[in-house]
A and B are shown apart, each in its own frame.
Chain A
C-alpha cells in the first residue's frame, strides 16, 4: 500500500468519540558512542549537536561535541579537566577548564577543535547568538570566597550581583539576553530561582512553591523558566515559572514527580525547556519529559523500541523536540544519548513504515488515547491528518 492509497482509505473514515485523552509520544534513541570511557551529555543546540564530557583512559574529563561524530578536546593548557556546558547555534562549545581543588576555574570557547580561553570564571550558559553567562569567584564579607553570577560582555565580565545573599550562579540565557540561575537571599539561609534582565540590570526573585529553596536552570524565548523548587514538605519539584513580558511571575507550575515505587517520597528537578514549553529533567532517578499542560512522563517508557539503556537524566531539549539525555547501558556504562521524537512510529518498532499506519488506525478506531495526535484531548478525524502529516514528514 503506497502512501496516497492510504490517504484515500482514511478519507472515508468518520469522526469517533470525544474523550479527554493524553497525547502519544515516541522517541528514537541514539547512543552517541564513546571514545575511551563514559560520556555524559550536558547541552544541545537547535541543530541537535550535543556537548558534555567524556572520561579518558587516564580518568580525566574531556569536553566533547557530537554532531554526527563524537570528538573530544583537551582542556586549556595547564589544566587537566574540561567540561562542555553549552553549545551555541554555530556549534561552538562553551565550557570550563580546571583542576580539582583549584579556585581559579577558566572558561573556554571551542570551535573546530581550537580552544580559546574566555577568562577566569565558570561559563555555564550561552545564548543562540553566543552570549556567555556563568559565575565568577569574588570576595565577600570578612574576605570570604563567594561566587557571583556574571555575564561576559565583550572581553570583560559583568558581576550580576545577588538577591542580597553572598552567592549567586547564572546557568542559562536566552535570545533576548535574560539570564537565570540561583541566588542566596539575605541571611544566606534560603535560595531562590533568579532572573536577571534589562538595562539597568534588574534582579528578580522568582519565588518558591512553598519551601525555602528554588533554582532556575533554563529559560526559553517565550517567557518561561524552568528548574526546581522545594515544596512545603521540603521536597524538590520540577517547576515552570511563567512570566509576563516584564518578567513578573504569573504562575509557578508544579510539574509533579514520577513515583518512586517505594516508600520514598518522589522528587524532581527540571533542567531544560524549549519554546513549545516542553520541559525535561530528572525525577525519582528517571529522565522525564513534560509537555505544555500535560503530565510528567517517564522518558524510558516513550523510547521505541524498548532500549537496554537505563535513562538517568534529561539535560537539554531543542525546538525540534530532540532531547539530550544520559543513561546507563546493561553493563553500567554511562552514555550520552540523543532522543529524537518520532510519534508516527505508532507500532514502536523503531522504524517508520506502512505497518505504523495500520497500528494507528487500530488505535483510532479503538478510541485509544495514543491516537490523539493533535493533542486536543479527543479522538477525531483531525487526528488522522495529524498522524499522516508526521508520517509523511518522516517522523
Chain B
C-alpha cells in the first residue's frame, strides 16, 4: 500500500481520524439526502457501480477452540467472532465506512449446529441461561447482520458478529475447521461488496492423550484429579464450567478471587506433565488444535517457526503474572529490528486490534492471527487472491485506491 506520510503524532492522528469521521458523517448525510431526493425524482435508487466499495473480513483469533462434549465439563463453548472493514472507494481517496451500509455474514456450508454438539443441552447448567438452539451466547446465529463497532481506544470502526455458534462439522457431516464465511455489504438494497473469510473452529482438544484411567471418562479423570490436587468437588457437580472459577478473558469470565486464570492453571499446571506429547510436531497440539487441524498455519509456520517461537514455552505462557489474551506476542518484537522505520502495534494494543494507514486495521491487510498470509491453508488465502490476485498481505494499492499513489507506503500509524 502507499499513501502520504503525515508528520502528525499518534494523538493528533487520532483527532484527525475522529474529525475526519465527523466530516464524513456529515458529508454522507448530505450526500444521502441528495441521493434520496434524486431517487425520489427518478422513482428508485441507482445501484452503486461495481468496485465502489471493498470489504475485508477476518476472524479475531485465527482459531476458536470448543469442546465437543459438554455433558461433564466445558473449557470453551462454540463462540466465533468475525469482523470486517468496509472501504468506500468513491471519493478519490479511500474512506472507511462505519454506517450507512448493511453488512451480513453467512456460512454457506454450515447452516445448523444444534444437531452437531450437545452444547445447547447443557448451556443452562453451564451458564444459567436456556439458549435457543443454534443461537450463541452473544445472541448471534449462523448467519445474520454484523453490527457497527467502534473501538474507543483505537478510534477505529469496523463491523462485527460476536459469538457465532459454529461447529467444526459442516452440513454434509465432514470435519471442517476452516469453513468459509461470505460477507456481503449492502447499500440501498444492492450488494456493493463481497468477500470471504475463514471462520476457524476446532474441537481437536486431545485431553485423551494423557487423561486415560480405566473405568472412567476422560472428563471424569480430569475432574477427579482436580479434586484430589485442589480439594474441590467438581466430579460431584458436573457439568463444570472451568471459567466459573478460573478467569478467562476469552469468555469475559472474571473467575474467583485467589484462583489462577484459566491460562495460568492450564499451562502452568501441565508444563511439567507433557511427556505424552513429546513426539508431536508441537507439544502445544496436545491441547490446542492440533495434529490434524494444524491451527498455526500462517507465513511464520511455513518458514519453520512454531507456537513457541512467538509465545514462548508453557511455563512462560503459564506465568501467573501474565494477563491471558492481553500479554501476547507483538509483531514489533521481531520485525522492528528488520524494519526500524516501521511502526507496529500501538502500545497496549494487540495485533488484532491495532491500526495504521488511516484507520485500517493491521489485521485487515495481514490476515487473522495464526493465518497471516500467505497461509499454508488454501481457504485462508482465498480473500487475498480474490482481491489482489495473489496470496499474502494485501499490498496491491489499487485494492482500495483508484490509482497507485506515487509516494511510498511508510507502514506507520500516522500514515493516511
Contacts and interface: CB of A to CB of B under 8 A. Distances in A.
The answer to whether A and B belong to the same complex is yes
Interface stretch (A11-19, A71-79, A165-173, A298-306): A165-173
B175 A102 contact: no
A303 B120 CA distance: 25
Interface stretch (A25-33, A111-119, A257-265, A336-344): A257-265
Nearest to B285: A59
Interface stretch (B103-111, B270-278, B328-336): B103-111
A144 B196 contact: yes
B173 A83 contact: yes
Contact of B112 (A81, A104, A124, A269): A269
B177 interface: yes
User: Counting chain B CB atoms within 10 Å of each CB, which of A100, A147, A171, A282 scores highest?
Assistant: A100
B171 A100 contact: no
Nearest to B143: A189
Given A262-B130, A331-B216, A101 B380 contact: yes
Nearest to A96: B174
B379 A59 contact: no
B256 interface: no
Interface string A100-111: 111111000000
B121 interface: yes
Given A81-B175, A101-B178, A236-B114, A264 B120 contact: yes
By secondary structure, the B interface counts as: loop
Contacts of B206: 59
A184 B143 CA distance: 12
Given A124-B172, A267-B133, A269-B115, A188 B109 contact: no
A328 to B, nearest CB: 8
Contact of A263 (B130, B175, B292): B130
Contact of A332 (B69, B108, B112, B376): B69
B133 A100 contact: no
B218 A332 contact: yes
B388 to A, nearest CB: 11
A322 B47 CA distance: 56
A103 B115 contact: no
Q: Give the bracket for the number of chain A residues in contact with chain B.
A: 35 or more
A265 B386 contact: no
B111 A102 contact: no
A85 interface: yes
Given A42-B173, A169-B171, A313 B378 contact: no
A334 to B, nearest CB: 9
A285 interface: yes
A215 interface: yes
Contact of A169 (B134, B172, B375): B172
Contact of A103 (B143, B171, B292, B379): B379
Nearest to A98: B174
A332 B143 contact: no
A313 B116 CA distance: 9
Contact of B174 (A122, A144, A268): A122
Contact of A236 (B115, B175, B194, B386): B115
Nearest to A102: B378
19 contacts: A60-B291, A81-B292, A101-B375, A101-B376, A103-B379, A103-B382, A142-B386, A169-B172, A182-B171, A184-B106, A189-B106, A213-B112, A215-B111, A215-B171, A236-B112, A236-B134, A263-B124, A267-B133, A282-B115
